[in-house]
Structure 1
């Protein structure tokens, strides 16, 4: 378990220090609490709380939060704002059938296109050819850091901003993704692979796909900006709360 200490120094500056990694026998709340108690006792520190919303952490009765508050009522629990933001976006999105289906199709695209080393190589080679052609036609600028090789990124519900990165990578690699899917539709090793590619290609030509692709890109772009602000090392809780209120007033989250 990694332990990070955040505190305010005598000049009012927020500091964050990596304390170290300690061994735990398992991830139960009891073992986590015992380990944290040992670390804080060794360092002669009082206890505050800040972590994600996993059940073994925030559980109302047996979670780490509850166990600590039983002994120290002044220990303030803070659920990571950036993690909350990610979970809210994913949770709300999955309540809408159209958006939920869009993300399911997005996951299939990543699985099918990245399903073998050969398909991954096809994606990179197709991208390289397109970039070279665009540079030759004067459609792309050249320079340090430009036109870097990219790949499809898999979305993870508990990873900050991963859905936004997945959508961005798909938009950047859309011609190459279609090229690989068309290949799988014709030359796939199994009927299941070929049918999957056929279904994805058919869906990608619908109005629903185009609409949800651009809608979710716009929404997740806003929330990605907010998430990065919330993750700044010098961000204080009052400023973070204020930023969330601003985004809520604009109907973003």
Structure 2
């Protein structure tokens, strides 16, 4: 809550809380009489401390609801760190589990301020939160963090410390983060890609550096749309002729590079017109020279070629990126998306050159970009070594960029070959259960979850799988595309009552984390709560506000009368202690 500077009765702004109470008082006479008029001055309960106490009680109620929803099921912890508005390091803790209806759930559970980000201190802080809510470390069946050394370190990292207490708390490096690292590595290692993104950032920064330039870009874009609509080149359907702006890319914002490339392609002609205007009307020679250099770059064939190439490559991987950020995503589906993306890139490399080059040429002709003679010779490496310009763009730019992307995908996702992840594919229902393998499923349960299954259950699993193969796999109702959907169907159809051991194994696999995007959503909520004008908010109050902000579906279910009753109990207990 944002509090006013002056809460006296004569103040014009007494803060959000009291102003809301006054509004409700106008709509409800009882509130006006009881709370504002007749309440004793020492018991109005509108002070900052009382508000924080009530919010703390509500936040704890929400945490208890989440704890009740989890029950005795195993769970996974997702953890990440970020700075808040006051530059304090905050750690978000998310619980991932499968509820009793067979649905994958990811719940925000806590934010803790951590001045010391060593792995041992982070573990102590996480354990403190878990113990306080009766969550046992031995119930952890997955850990999801980024790739920082203090998190993923094999010997002293956070994941290693938890593995010492619970050897079945398997660590999975966030898939979405790995995909982002793939792009960053490729941009650093391939010279043409590095140059392209450097020029792209420069173009976007120049155009978006002032409101006047942004307005000029939108005006040019509007005129372009009007001309194209008049000539019939564009249709006038609702929603397809929106005026936009160039998007900046960021190293930590997933999909931002693709959005930046896509926005420049859509606004290429308008951007060029703005740069042409700035060359003539820039206030000084230095600025004019800078804009002129950027204009020459954007109008070059090499830049246009790289722009379209990255649009294609990032377009293939963006579908994967969006899929990895879904809360209900499971490991088998994520593995399949990675494999599909690599296949599409390989196919584009082998068969897409001619079509791609023609598309680039058409774009250049439409936007008055000079197309060089692709049959002319181009010097590479040693001065005597010459190839045609088309050969250079085909093999030294097109192929090399795709090859590095494929190489990075294979390197970053090489853990997919680890036995645990490869065995989970045997449960994948995709393509009519074509990956189903009873031996792999039994091996998965026996080797990786020995504490969750007795010898009798492992023996029963083999016979369950025989019935499962004849009953579930052959039933058209269970022909679904993901393991998470299958889990829900098994519970809804009550097949889980017959496949007891199997429906105990599937939630353990679904508990394995795919990405830590829910922690990023928590940090986004934190920025809404703790802003520049509310940057002195206490850490505990911040955690309570973020909890109620994110998990408001639970907050709506809280009985207000019970909150007031608990507040009085807490107040009475505190009075006795004093």
| TM-score, length-scaled by structure 1 | 0.89
How many residues are matched?
253
| Structure 2 partner of 1:172 | 266
Alignment partners' CA distance in 2, 1:55 and 1:173:
41
Alignment partners' CA distance in 1, 2:284 and 2:334:
51
| Structure 2 partner of 1:158 | 252
Shift of 1:68: 2.8
Alignment partners' CA distance in 2, 1:9 and 1:153:
39
| Structure 2 partner of 1:42 | 132
Alignment partners' CA distance in 1, 2:272 and 2:250:
23
Q: How do residues 136-215 of structure 1 correspond to structure 2 at under 5 angstroms?
A: 136-215=230-309
SS in 1 for 2:245: coil
Alignment partners' CA distance in 2, 1:246 and 1:16:
26
For structure 2, the 5+ residue unaligned runs are 1-90, 347-405, 410-578
Q: How do residues 53-68 of structure 1 correspond to structure 2 at under 5 angstroms?
A: 53-68=147-162
- Larger relative contact order (Cα-Cα within 8 Å, sequence gap ≥ 6): 2
Is the CA contact 2:110–2:129 (under 8 Å) kept in the aligned structure 1? no
2:95 corresponds to 1:5: yes
Shift of 1:143: 4.0
Alignment partners' CA distance in 2, 1:83 and 1:147:
33
Alignment partners' CA distance in 1, 2:122 and 2:288:
48
Shift of 1:224: 0.2
SS in 2 for 1:232: coil
2:214 corresponds to 1:120: yes
Cα 1:33–1:193, aligned 2, differ >3 Å: closer, same or farther? farther
Shift of 1:93: 2.6
Is the CA contact 1:87–1:158 (under 8 Å) kept in the aligned structure 2? no
Alignment partners' CA distance in 1, 2:98 and 2:151:
24
Query: Which of 226, 230, 234 in structure 1 is aligned with 2:328?
Result: 234
Cα 1:9–1:201, aligned 2, differ >3 Å: closer, same or farther? same
- Decide which moves more: 103-112 or 67-76: 67-76
Shift of 1:10: 4.1
Q: How do residues 72-87 of structure 1 correspond to structure 2 at under 5 angstroms?
A: 72-87=166-181
Deviation by residue 1:1-37 (Cα, 9 ceiling, x = unmatched): 3322111234543222222433333544444323211
Cα 1:124–1:55, aligned 2, differ >3 Å: closer, same or farther? farther
Cα 1:132–1:30, aligned 2, differ >3 Å: closer, same or farther? farther
Q: Who wins on radius of gyration, i.e. which is larger?
A: 2
Is the CA contact 2:186–2:193 (under 8 Å) kept in the aligned structure 1? no
- Decide which moves more: 25-34 or 40-49: 25-34
Deviation by residue 1:41-99 (Cα, 9 ceiling, x = unmatched): 12222333112223443244544333333443322111111110111122123211111
Alignment partners' CA distance in 2, 1:115 and 1:61:
46
Is the CA contact 1:50–1:77 (under 8 Å) kept in the aligned structure 2? yes
Alignment partners' CA distance in 1, 2:299 and 2:114:
50
Q: RMSD between aligned alpha carbons?
A: 2.2
Cα 1:133–1:249, aligned 2, differ >3 Å: closer, same or farther? closer
- Decide which moves more: 98-107 or 224-233: 224-233
Cα 1:21–1:148, aligned 2, differ >3 Å: closer, same or farther? farther
For structure 1, the 5+ residue unaligned runs are none
